[in-house]
Amino acid sequence: MGQFSALAARRWPPASDEVRWGVPAAVICLLGAQLFSVVWVSLAAGLVYGPDPLPPVSERPIGTLPLFNLGLWVAYLAGPIIVKRSAGASPLADVDLRATPVQAGVGTLSGVVAQLAILPALYWVILRFVSGDPGRSAQELADRVDGRGDAILFAVAVVIVAPVVEEWFYRGMLLPVLARRFGPVVAAVGSSAVFALVHQELIVLPGLFVFALILAWLTMTTGRIGPAILAHMAFNATTVLQLLAL
């Protein structure tokens, strides 16, 4: 499993006789999270905007960012917990949130390198063949930041909350159940494709897919999602610093 095998907290993925859920449970959790998010956004839009149409994300105040994403975050966290509890298992079954110092350093460095080197190189090639701006949506959102309070709220949502809940679901639940059923290669590619697709923006799909492969590699190599969480945080933090510095 690579250079971190000796540091793995447990065998990864846990053998099928150690768990009692699989791909159907992960798919139900994924679809349920998307559905709950849509319902939540509708309710939140009615609360904030009343009968007025919901404006695009780039036009909403930063203060509404956690509110509109809360439904998806809660669903990503709660879905795996409900499934595991229903099977009589701990919510941490399949998941190890820890990271050794070496794993933490490699994870953090992976996130920074992905943002500053790997994805720019990827898009240097892609943008030779298609038009688009992979950073447009993020920049439009960052442009709505007004003052220190907005900047802190934006950073907490993007750098802390989103990486934790997304890794909890995609690398903590979806990746291992796919690995047990189809093997590690299919699991890494499949979970990364789903991760990229749910962000629903075509131009960023290749970059998110490649980054998700890095997160999957960190998880499979270490047997933990802690390094992937740190990589995701570092990746997003690098983006936020770049956006807010412009």
* pLDDT tens per residue, range 13-67: 767 666 789 999 999 999 999 999 999 999 999 999 999 998 888 788 998 999 9
What was the pLDDT predicted at 6? 46
Per-residue pLDDT tens over the stretch 113-156: 999 999 999 999 999 999 999 999 888 888 899 889 999 999 99
| Other beta carbons less than 10 A from residue 198's beta carbon | 15
Residue 192 phi, psi dihedral angles, 5° rounding: -70, -40
Q: How far apart are CA 37 and CA 72, in angstroms?
A: 5
What was the pLDDT predicted at 9? 53
What was the pLDDT predicted at 10? 59
pTM score:
0.93
What was the pLDDT predicted at 16? 61
Mean pLDDT of 75-93: 93
| Other beta carbons less than 10 A from residue 52's beta carbon | 9
Q: How far apart are CA 204 and CA 195, in angstroms?
A: 11
Burial of 146 by CB count in 10 Å (0-12 exposed, 13-18 middle, 19+ buried)?
Answer: exposed
